[in-house]
Amino acid sequence: MTEIHTSVPTPAEQFPESVPLTAEHLLTNRRIEPTGGWRRLVYQLSGGRIIPSESAAELERRTLIAQAQTPVASGHHRIAVMSLKGGVGKTTTTAALGNTLASLRGDRVIAIDANPDRGTLGIKVKSETAATIRTLLAEAPHIVRYADARAFTSQSSARLEVLASDTDPAVSEAFDAEDYRTVANLIERYYSICITDCGTGLLHGAMGATLELADQIVLVTMVAVDGASSAAATLDWLTAHGHGHLVKNAIVVLNAVEPKSHVDVDLLERHFAGRCRMVVRVPFDPHLKEGAEVDLARLRPTTRGAYLRLAAAAGQAFTQRTDRSK
């Protein structure tokens, strides 16, 4: 008798079109309520019966939000915001990126001021404490839970926490590599994302440890010849000193871009796009020029959109698993 062999179909063969069992997939009448524009007006006038299809811009925005919400695969992710030249908006970029991520995510996001001298990150959020990064260092052995760490930070309306530095240069102390490692290791226990506002120098004490521990960098520059040259020199220095992987995965922010400029912004963008992972243009915004607290609600829509693209670009690296045993 001929023996008949039968194969058991795999789950993929049994259910070739399997999809996530979510409301969006299972409910055929499930459509997202429009948030604005003519689609919102049609939705309201029809009593919710008519929901026009989403525009390409709205679909793109949803995609960017999803990228910014990417879970952190390693449990903790460190972003270093850098610039070799001062006055280019590095600290503002740190605060705006942190606020954007914190407003979209459910985990904890913190920004820390690692400037070796007088830092201004604390000015970008309403102060809730007089504590500083130096205070936290002194109390580090006694911080054993999130509530202990939270006592040293101020929180924005977007849920970003900020660990400030001393604003008075007369009382500030040098912040070296070992100090940064201590703070970074402590922060890792209680926060998913840490954004470090670095000093402008590449050789000060804390910078070595910052680069050593960073998962990705955000390099900020103005649209100007000297700013662009400094940014390019920073990338050269990083590559020459063993940080080529950070350069390849870097995001370059062209900050405070004016509608009309004598500088060829497209050429500038192509240059950095050829060296780094992403380039994001942030337009000039009157609210940011104030130099005070960064409030996302007061930004122009185009500026909020630029920071969403920056947050999404950063989020694309959250899937990377980092070896924290080193």
From the first residue on, what is the mean pLDDT of each consecutive set of 10 residues in the chain (326 residues)? 52 49 57 75 84 83 96 97 92 98 98 85 95 94 97 98 81 77 97 94 85 97 94 95 97 95 94 98 96 96 98 96 60
pLDDT, residue 111, reads 98
99 close to 294: Cβ distance less than 8 angstroms: yes
Q: Give the tens place of pLDDT for each residue, 262-279.
A: 899 999 999 999 999 999
Q: Which residues of 29-62 are buried (b: 16+ CB within 10 A; e: fewer)?
A: eeeeebeeeebeeebeeeeeeebeeeeeebeebe
Report d(CA 163, CA 166) in Å as an integer. 10
The class level of CATH for 63-315 reads: alpha beta
Do 147 and 86 meet the contact criterion of CB atoms below 8 Å apart?
A: no
Structure tokens at 38: 């003519």
pLDDT digits 0-9 by tens, 106-131: 999 999 999 877 789 999 999 999 99
Q: How many CA atoms lie within 13 A of 195 on its CB side?
A: 29
**CB-based contact 83:207 (threshold 8 Å):** no
CA 229 to chain centre: 24
Inter-residue contact 287 to 298 (CB < 8 Å): yes
Q: What is the pLDDT of residue 49?
A: 83
- The pLDDT value given to residue 12: 46
Q: Please return the burial class of 7, using the count of CB atoms within 10 Å of its CB with bins 0-12, 13-18 and 19+.
A: exposed
Q: Is 283 exposed, middle or buried (0-12, 13-18, 19+ CB in 10 A)?
A: middle
Q: Which strands form 251-257's sheet, in the order they lie side by side?
A: 154-155, 161-163, 109-113, 193-197, 77-82, 216-222, 251-257, 278-283
The model's pTM: 0.85
pLDDT given for residue 8 in this prediction: 53
Neighbours of 267 (CB within 10 A): 9
Which regions of the chain carry the CATH code 3.40.50.300? 63-315
- Coil, helix or strand for 219? strand
Q: How far is it, in rounded angstroms, from Cα 42 to Cα 50?
A: 7
Cα 184 to Cα 121: distance, rounded to the nearest angstrom: 17
pLDDT of residue 52: 79
Question: In what helix (H) or strand (E) does residue 1 lie, and over which residues does it extend?
Answer: none
Q: Is 251 exposed, middle or buried (0-12, 13-18, 19+ CB in 10 A)?
A: buried
* Distance in angstroms (rounded) separating the CA atoms of residues 135 and 9: 63
